[in-house]
Structure 1
Amino acid sequence: MHFTSERQLDDGVREREFTLDGIPGVLWTPASATPSAPAPLILLGMPPLGLSRMLPRLAERARHAAADGFASAALELPGSGERPRVPALDRARAELRRTMEAGEPVGPELVDALVLPLVDLAVPECRAALDALLALPEVDGPVGYSGGVIAVGVRLALVEPRIAAAGLFAGSLVPRRTFEEARRVTVPLHVLLQWDDEGNDRQASLDLFDAFASPEKSLNANMGGHTGVPPHAGEAAAGFFARHLKQSPPQ
């Protein structure tokens, strides 16, 4: 991991951009994070619209997490931003645009082509990032995952034992394999669903939530479209991570 820039935000949060094997990322740590008191880590879901474009929104989420004592980190999605293109994903996205412009249904084969290569690339990168981030003296576990792409979050929650809890953003284009994997996910889950999300298949989101095997899982469904997430939804997610990531002091 190579840090390329650093700045101090107004509330004392330390924001550092880094590269890891050529993958851009950002790490936010609260002022309270020290080698003697390392902060638990929340891995923010890779932003589909690109890291630089989503940076203000990610930083805002990280600042709220820092106020609760958590470090946060985000990576650039494969094939996004300045990262090399992934031809198979570009072809699938072009087919998706053609399908939607023609008013045709998006079939399961196209969903698999759009999402599964992304999951196969992104999850090993997330695990490598955890190796590097948790080696920093001011960052420690337990680790949470927060955000989308939901298929990436499901796979990571299944295969990565350091993920202690996951807050997932419900979304469409869920591959059939993701439903199969969800039936083996057992970590605590908090799923956010915008009920009237114009780009989301609500029933598919409900079916995926039902598939999770986690003994503790909650669905936070709010009225409104994709950009209408109410502030109290963030408060509920913060409470979820506080319950599962903060270590109880020794008695």
Structure 2
Amino acid sequence: MSVEIALRAARVRYGPLEALHGVDLAMPTARLTVLAGRNGAGRTTVLRALAGTVPLAEGRVDWRGTDVTRLPAFVRARRGLAFVPDQRAVFASLTVAENLALATRQGTGPGRAVAGVYPALRPLLDRRAATLSGGEQRMLAVARALLSPARLLLLDEPSQGMSPETAARTYALLGEAAAAGRTVVVAEQSLPPALRAEASVVHVLRRGAVVLSGEPGEIPEEPPVAADPDRPGGRQG
């Protein structure tokens, strides 16, 4: 199984506090990988390090065998990486259609494209993203990633604010993306059945370290992912 992107002995610090403690993680190509762990475990920081939105204090990021540690986030995006953060994942002042137009492949109209992903967004194309509910904004953010040409998708709590039915559809869509040859990395606090069914690899993090890795069937229903009382302020999960 080939590796798409990996952290090698990665350390990330927020001020005096260290959020990742020499983490080694490999994300297989064309698979859906899950980073599980409660707030403060380090899963969000892993995604940010891979995306280039936080710097490494030590270690490196390898993408398809190339060290991209020093490449800024916008360069990684141009090379085919799409990152859906847990907050502020859409352009609030733009309409739904305008948000989608920034990501959709040339020649594909936003309305037609989104209908095949989240039909519920089609009637909202003329609405500004700021006026959408939390779940609708998450749908828009995930749709932008799925409709982009990116081959590597990083998503932090993509189901946040969604109904159980929409969350299940989201995981199915991400699983389809991986089956089509894209590499998908999802960070979630737990492994709901719908996500467990789509994942190939699960890494459980606790307090900035990987404590368990394996296939979904090897991960217990309640993995040991206690919150970190020493994490820096804000959501650094």
Alignment TM class, shorter chain as reference: 0.3 to 0.5
Flag the structure with higher helix content: 1
| TM-score, normalised via structure 2 length | 0.34
Larger radius of gyration: 1
